Copies of this chain bind each other. A is one copy, B any other.
Amino acid sequence: MGNSTWPDVTKLLYNMQQSLKTIFPNFSNELIATIEENGSLQDFKAGTILMRTGQYIKNTVLIIKGKIKIYREGEDGGEFLMYYLQPGQACAISMICTAKSEKSQIMAKVVEDVTVMMIPLQLMDKWMMEHRSWYEFVIETYRSRFEEVLEVVDNIAFRSMDERLEFYLKRHSDACGCSEVNLSHQEIATELNTSREVVSRLLKKMEQRGLVKLNRNQIELLK
């Protein structure tokens, strides 16, 4: 990242604080400075598994840039998509498990190159008492992730596969901010825990209804 003369480093640091403030607008300035000081910034390429089921968790993960998908793994190797994590969010599981250094119940995969801030577990807990804005962020993270999982329960408990597929596509396009889903039918099937043929059939029906246009490795959402 460029040369390392003092002015540049200072500038980078300044920019970092500015960007943290932008991504986490509710964090106090002291908290941001503390995060700067104690957290470690790391990059991961798309495809990286950030956390595996059964692994012990040593850090709380704040998303600065990029996207992560959170999966629940089945015994047979299924990878059921639960939700996305985006900049400004944090992994609730990593917070919850961190507090007791428990095993992860989920799998986290990078789907768009990410920059994350890793916070060591002792600090995560310590800051709860010291920084009101951290406390509120953690509680809000619990709340919103819990709600998201409840929505997942809704989908699989009350809805049929065609509705779940529509929801899946909509959420994908919301997450990437575009109307093209660049995934193969097989990938979608895996994340919905169904088979490729079922996804192909349902997509074809959606195309006939005028909801999508199907291309190779791409689904365009029309409505």
Listed in ascending order, the chain A residues whose CB lies under 8 Å from chain B are 72, 74-76, 78, 80, 82, 92-93, 96-97, 99-100, 102, 105-106, 128-129, 135, 139-140, 142-143, 145-147, 149-150, 152-154, 156-158, 193
Contact = CB atoms under 8 A, between A and B. Distances in A.
Contacts of A135: 128
A contact patch SS? helix
A25 to B, nearest CB: 17
Nearest to A72: B153
Nearest to A146: B96
B154 A156 contact: no
B153 A82 contact: yes
Contacts of A100: 139-140, 143
A22 B128 CA distance: 28
A147 B106 CA distance: 10
B92 A158 contact: no
Given A96-B142, A100-B143, A106 B74 contact: no
A146 B149 contact: yes
Contacts of A140: 99-100
12 contacts: A74-B154, A78-B157, A80-B153, A82-B153, A99-B140, A100-B139, A100-B140, A100-B143, A149-B149, A149-B150, A152-B153, A153-B156
A76 B82 CA distance: 23
A211 B128 CA distance: 49
A123 B106 CA distance: 33
Contacts of A147: 105
Contact of A92 (B75, B80, B93, B146): B146
Contacts of A145: 146
B143 A102 contact: yes
Contacts of A82: 153
A158 B102 contact: no
Contact of A150 (B102, B106, B154): B106
